[in-house]
A and B are shown apart, each in its own frame.
Chain A
Amino acid sequence: MRESPGFTAIVVLSVLTVIEYFVSAEAVAGAFFWLLIISIAKAAIILVAFMHLRNIFGNEHS
């Protein structure tokens, strides 16, 4: 089956959000650090997969 564009990104983002929730709920050691890493990873996914950060200087459609 052909995967729709962006589908993998939204699945990974959702999984990371749930992990984030449990890191906080279970008070995992070093939670602050892990929440920071997960937030940066989520922002990076949106920037690269959805916002086409690499195409800022391109003429083509992103």
Chain B
Amino acid sequence: MTVTDAPPLEHGVSRIKINRIGLWLFFLSEAMLFAGLIAIRFSLLGTEVDEAVSQSIGLVITVILLASSYTAFRAEHAAHKGDQAAMVQYLWATLILGTIFLGGVAFEWYEAFMEFPPGTAFGTVFFTMTGIHAFHVITGLIFLTVLIRNAKAGRYADDSWPVEAGVKYWHFVDIVWVFFYPVLYLI
């Protein structure tokens, strides 16, 4: 039995509805963590940004992460339509774009260690914020890898909820970066 086919729970509430609400509550709790990090950034640094931070790298990796959200969306769309082949292709594209984003962050870290080491105020903020975000990207990449493996085995032919959940998590990580990018690179 799949999540979508499961019989309604008490009061006619379906399993898929419960799953979705649970996922969004998880996002809400995570959002508080990231909002706290942004608050710490302004508390420590005001509205200043270290001039050594590479704005061009920031712009490029931001566009790459946004593009990965589009391919993730297409993967979910294909999953709901039952197009398994397209779903796997778009999941692969998302995985590759996410890995490139992570490579960009790693390169930025390499330069940042020399320009503003973790001991400085901006370095502390920069490495904490990008580090925690990168950890979420890595977990998203692991999730995508599991989805691809299972999709190839045909496990989502009748139940696309796991794909929907994984993709929504990826979008959430993207939204966090939408706020981190100006806070770390532009303001």
Q: Which residues of A contact B45 (CB under 8 A)?
A: none
Q: Categorize the interface residue count of chain A.
A: 35 or more
Interface: B41 (CB within 8 A): no
Rounded to whole Å, the gap between the CB of B12 and the closest CB of chain A is 10
Find A50's partner among B24, B69, B182 (CB 8 Å cutoff). Answer: B69
Majority SS at the chain A contact face: helix
Give the chain A neighbours of B187 by CB distance below 8 A. Answer: 24, 31-32, 35
Instruction: Give the docked Cα–Cα distance between A32 and B20 (Å).
Output: 34
Using an 8 Å CB-CB cutoff, how does the interface string of B139-179 with A read, 1 for contact, 0 for none?
00000000000000000000010001000100110110011
B: interface residue count bin: 35 or more
By a CB distance below 8 angstroms, the chain B residues around A9 are 70, 73
Q: How far is A35 from B182 in the complex, measured between Cα atoms in Å? A: 7
Contact residues in A for B164 (Cβ distance below 8 Å): 61-62
User: Which chain B positions have C-beta within 8 A of A25?
Assistant: 55
CA distance A47 to B174 in the complex (A): 10
Q: Is the CB of B62 within 8 A of A17?
A: yes
Q: Which residue of A lies closest to B186 (CB)?
A: A24
Interface presence of B136 (CB below 8 A): no
By the criterion CB–CB under 8 Å, are A46 and B174 in contact?
yes
B69 in contact with A59 (CB, 8 Å): no
- Report the bound CA distance from A10 to B73 in whole Å: 10
Pair B66/A61 contact, Cβ less than 8 Å: no
CB<8 Å pairs between A and B, sample of 19:
A9-B70, A10-B66, A10-B69, A14-B66, A17-B59, A18-B59, A20-B181, A21-B59, A23-B186, A24-B185, A32-B187, A39-B179, A39-B181, A43-B175, A43-B178, A57-B21, A58-B17, A61-B80, A62-B76
